Amino acid sequence: MKKTSLLLTAITSILLTSLVQASDIEFEISGINSDKGKLYIQLFKGEENYHKGNAELASVVNAAKGSTKVIFNNVDQGEYVLRFFHDENNNGELETNLFGLPVEGYGFSNNAKPNFGPVSYSEVVFIVPDNSNTIINKTTAIY
Amino acid sequence: MQRRQLLKSIASLSAGAFILNLPLKALSATKQSPQFVNYKELFNQALNNSPELIGFANVVDDFPPQVLSVEGKIPADINGTFYRNGPAKHEREEQRYQHLFEGDGMLQRFTFSDGKIVHQGKFINTPKYQKEQQAKKFLYAGPDTPIQHSLPVSSSGMINTANTNIIPVGEDLWALWEAGSPTRIDTESLEYREQIILGEAGKYNKTLQGLPFSAHPKVEANGDIWNFGLNPSGHIVLYHLAPNGQPNNVALINTRYQGGMLHDFLMTDKHLLLILPSLKMKHSSDKSRQGFFSQIVFDENIPMRVLVIDKANLTLKKEYELPAGFAFHYGNAWEEKDGTIRFDASLYPDVDVLHNLSNMMKGETNNAHTKAQTAFFILKPNGSASHVLLDTTSEFPRVCNHIVGLKNERLYHLSSKHDSLWSDTVCALNTNSGKLVSYDFGKDFLVEEHIPVCPQQKEGTGYLIGTALHVPSKRTCVNIFNIENIADGPVARAWLSHHLPLGFHGNFKIS
């Protein structure tokens, strides 16, 4: 009985943990201009990690002209930021011009766009609540 | 689509690569509150009482080809095309740009053939112009003009108006702005083709995409093109291009210049001269002075600096300090055998002229009379510098194309004798003797840049050609002077049936 009780408690705990914490993030990127190269996508948890470049998760997918969906599974509740770039020449790096501005496609969560300067955290952050299955975030690529 | 890789860090996704330290930030007027002064209304009210403002009025459509009406006789040996560029789309809906430099570029083409001149004017169909033309309103904030609900700007190409100069390069024309790439124009149709990515086909790949490229490149007698582009951070990119526009060498230097604007430069046979004026950016609490140009101020405590760049490797070789001053334009520079460098400038005592070009956009002409004077500078090899200031007012200085970077004996420029809104006189200065010859159009004309056309590649021969707006008749004319007898007035004058917007710079391509 005691063993059964413990087992039930453990199962319940796992189920509850799963119910409370497990969310998926679906990042829909549109406006990809070619099939060349790959998309590098990063997911950041919290402002500090975003500013420090410490990604929680990352993904690489083949580029496909038009729209692409990337899914990050089992994400805890919290504040998140997504960003990506289109590595058109497939060299594993975001190409920039001499002044450091991107010359390959890129983008951010919430479809945030730089405007005479970098996007702010408040423009790119989105919340993953504790009771959600799938969070959908959409953006368009900037070339 | 779920080819997911749980990578905590991907080396190529460095944080730094995403920090968009846009040099465009300085060009933004988005921090301003919406326009609280109605520039359009003020300008149109002022235009009723000050007809000379007509040169700053908005242009709605292209000008179709038109054979001009000729007074006098166009010399038979002039065959070619005179191109000019300048801002013309100043207004959309009820919005009027707050600075003359903001309007979309319009090309003016004057084709000289068999004693006739045909004019055609065409807006440059840049990505910005295309979008705004379709929307029938301004979509992007200008450097000085805030636009409500303006679209975000993530690259200079999005707001490149291509509105300052036009030069022939190879088989194409390049329309030039100074904060972004050159714009390729089809020579025959004047249609927009693309924003040029310099060196894309070669080793530079896309590293030069969208970089500033000034509107005053210097073309050497062998066709090589030299230029610079300013990043408001103070970094300046230097270009050495082959005659076909392909980069031979490109370099970046940190000048620490914080003036925000650098319009022109100079070249000798061995060096480039970057002349950094006494400007700085100063935030103002005045709500009407929140734009980019508005925040550029003159500081008499900042000396002008001349950076001497070695053309062989595009590196800084020497630096000179000059008294405080400002110039939009320089005529020419050259070097003596002992290394002494000489150059001229249309030198202003301050930068009020920049702000007057904003005031004129709302019809204010009272303070429009700050004038530059011709100045000759001497930079000695021992590091000393001196200059002489002439009495004559001076702007838009030019020398014959074949003499750029070499010793010139003639300097052609505009002047103003009637305290006019623009210029009213053309001048030819003999730099050896100091003799100044001029022709005064009279107070009814607003005279634009006149350029020497020297088919024989010999100074003192050829023609001086330029446009002028006759205010009473609201018509623009092309004037052709015998360059040896400017004081006699134009040998031919060809009239449009209407006026053109006052523009900035142009060039003549000889057939």
Set of chain B residues whose Cβ sits within 8 Å of the Cβ of A59: 3-5, 7
Contact at CB, A94 and B17, closer than 8 angstroms: yes
Please count the structural domains in chain A. Answer: 1
B19 in reach of chain A (CB within 8 A): yes
Contact at CB, B17 and A102, closer than 8 angstroms: yes
Q: Please tell me which of the candidates B5, B20, B209 has its beta carbon nearest to residue A58.
A: B5
Distance between A14 CA and the closest CA of chain B, angstroms: 22
Average pLDDT for residues A91-105, to the nearest whole number? 94
Contact at CB, A101 and B6, closer than 8 angstroms: no
Contact at CB, B211 and A99, closer than 8 angstroms: yes
Confidence bin at B83 (pLDDT 50/70/90): very high
Average pLDDT for residues B358-363, to the nearest whole number? 95
**Euclidean distance between CA atoms A63 and B396, whole angstroms:** 51
Set of chain B residues whose Cβ sits within 8 Å of the Cβ of A104: 206
A1 part of a folded domain: no
B5 in reach of chain A (CB within 8 A): yes
Q: Please tell me which of the candidates A40, A85, A100 has its beta carbon nearest to residue B21.
A: A100
pLDDT score of B24: 54
A13 part of a folded domain: no
Question: Quick check: pTM over 0.80?
Answer: yes
Sequential DSSP letters for B452-493: EE-TT--TT-SEEEEEEEETTTTEEEEEEEETT-GGG--SEE
Distance between A62 CA and the closest CA of chain B, angstroms: 8
Q: Nearest-CA neighbor of B466 among B476, B478, B453? A: B478
Query: Is the Cβ–Cβ distance between B400 and B412 less than 8 Å?
Result: no
Distance between B8 CA and the closest CA of chain A, angstroms: 5
Place of tokens 């300046």: B236
Query: Is the Cβ–Cβ distance between A39 and A68 less than 8 Å?
Result: yes
pLDDT score of B285: 72
Confidence bin at B291 (pLDDT 50/70/90): confident
pLDDT score of B15: 36
DSSP B157: G
- The mean of the pLDDT values for chain B is 92
A15 part of a folded domain: no
Set of chain B residues whose Cβ sits within 8 Å of the Cβ of A95: 205-207
Contact at CB, A118 and B250, closer than 8 angstroms: no
Q: Please tell me which of the candidates B3, B22, B205 has its beta carbon nearest to residue A116.
A: B22
Contact at CB, B19 and A93, closer than 8 angstroms: no
Residue of B nearest to A57 (CA): B8
Question: Is pLDDT above 70 for B161?
Answer: yes
**Euclidean distance between CA atoms B291 and B249, whole angstroms:** 35
pLDDT score of B26: 55
Q: Nearest-CA neighbor of B362 among B46, B71, B121? A: B46
Question: Is pLDDT above 90 for B31?
Answer: no
Contact at CB, A73 and B5, closer than 8 angstroms: no
Q: Please tell me which of the candidates A95, A98, A118 has its beta carbon nearest to residue B211.
A: A98
Provide the domain limits for residue A122: 23-140
Query: Is the Cβ–Cβ distance between B159 and B139 less than 8 Å?
Result: no
Question: Is pLDDT above 90 for B495?
Answer: yes
Q: Please tell me which of the candidates A40, A73, A119 has its beta carbon nearest to residue B10.
A: A40
Residue of B nearest to A52 (CA): B15
Binding-face residues of B in 164-223 toward A, CB within 8 A: 205-211
Confidence bin at B32 (pLDDT 50/70/90): low
Query: Is the Cβ–Cβ distance between B330 and B346 less than 8 Å?
Result: yes
Sheet with B247-254, strands from edge to edge, namely: B218-219, B225-230, B235-241, B247-254
Question: Is pLDDT above 50 for B4?
Answer: no
Confidence bin at B34 (pLDDT 50/70/90): low
Question: Is pLDDT above 90 for B382?
Answer: yes
Question: Is pLDDT above 50 for B2?
Answer: no
pLDDT score of B280: 97
B27 in reach of chain A (CB within 8 A): yes
pLDDT score of A14: 43
Sequential DSSP letters for B279-348: EEE---S-GGG-STGGGEEE-TTS-EEEEEEETTTTEEEEEEEE-S-EEEEEEEEEE-TTS-EEEEEEEE
Query: Is the Cβ–Cβ distance between B429 and B374 less than 8 Å?
Result: yes
Total Cβ atoms within 10 A of residue B423: 27
Average pLDDT for residues B47-65, to the nearest whole number? 97
B314 in reach of chain A (CB within 8 A): no
Q: What per-residue string of b and e applies to A28-52 under the rule 16 or more CB within 10 Å gives b? A: bbebbeeeebbbbbbbbbbeebbee
Residue of B nearest to A49 (CA): B15
A44 part of a folded domain: yes
Residue B322 has which token pair?
A: 């000059």
Q: How far is CA A24 from CA A70, A73, A127, A136, B147, in A?
A: 10, 4, 12, 9, 39
Q: How far is CA B237 from CA B160, B212, B250, B270, B384, in A?
A: 18, 8, 7, 18, 27
pLDDT score of B3: 37
Question: Is pLDDT above 70 for B7?
Answer: no
Set of chain B residues whose Cβ sits within 8 Å of the Cβ of A98: 207-208, 211, 237, 250, 252
SS3 B196: coil
Q: Which of B17-21, B55-59, B213-217 has the lowest mean pLDDT?
A: B17-21
Contact at CB, B210 and A103, closer than 8 angstroms: yes
- By a Cβ cutoff of 8 Å, what residues of chain A touch chain B? 40, 42, 51-62, 68-73, 83, 85, 87, 92-104, 106, 113-119, 142
SS3 B54: helix
- In CATH, what number is assigned to the domain containing residue A102? 2.60.40
Query: Is the Cβ–Cβ distance between B463 and B75 less than 8 Å?
Result: yes
Q: pLDDT tens digit string along B222-235?
A: 999 999 999 999 99
Write the burial class of residue B402 (CB in 10 Å: 0-12 exposed, 13-18 middle, 19+ buried).
middle
| Greatest CA separation for chain A | 71
Contact at CB, B10 and A58, closer than 8 angstroms: yes
Question: Is pLDDT above 80 for B76?
Answer: yes
Contact at CB, B16 and A53, closer than 8 angstroms: yes
**Euclidean distance between CA atoms B110 and B81, whole angstroms:** 6
DSSP B189: T
A102 part of a folded domain: yes
Strand partners, B304: B322
Query: Is the Cβ–Cβ distance between B102 and B144 less than 8 Å?
Result: yes
Question: Is pLDDT above 80 for B10?
Answer: no
Q: How far is CA B445 from CA A11, A132, B117, in A?
A: 91, 72, 21
Set of chain B residues whose Cβ sits within 8 Å of the Cβ of A94: 12-13, 17-18
pLDDT score of A57: 97
Question: Is pLDDT above 80 for B16?
Answer: no
Residue of B nearest to A103 (CA): B206
Q: Which of A72-76, B34-38, B192-196 has the lowest mean pLDDT?
A: B34-38
pLDDT score of B19: 36
Q: Which helix (H) or strand (E) holds B352?
A: helix B352-359
A8 part of a folded domain: no
**Euclidean distance between CA atoms B173 and B2, whole angstroms:** 48
Q: Which helix (H) or strand (E) holds A4?
A: helix A2-21
A9 part of a folded domain: no
pLDDT score of B192: 98
Q: pLDDT tens digit string along A1-48?
A: 445 454 444 444 444 444 456 799 999 999 999 999 999 999 999 999
Set of chain A residues whose Cβ sits within 8 Å of the Cβ of B235: 99
pLDDT score of A33: 97
SS3 B428: strand
Query: Is the Cβ–Cβ distance between B267 and B220 less than 8 Å?
Result: yes
pLDDT score of B289: 66
Query: Is the Cβ–Cβ distance between B333 and B17 less than 8 Å?
Result: no
Question: Is pLDDT above 60 for B13?
Answer: no
Contact at CB, B12 and A40, closer than 8 angstroms: yes
Strand partners, B386: B378
A3 part of a folded domain: no
User: What is the residue type of B484?
Assistant: E
Average pLDDT for residues B142-165, to the nearest whole number? 95
Q: pLDDT tens digit string along B399-450?
A: 999 999 999 999 999 999 987 789 999 999 999 999 999 999 999 999 999 9
Contact at CB, B13 and A72, closer than 8 angstroms: no
**Euclidean distance between CA atoms B122 and B124, whole angstroms:** 6
Percent of chain B topping pLDDT 90? 88
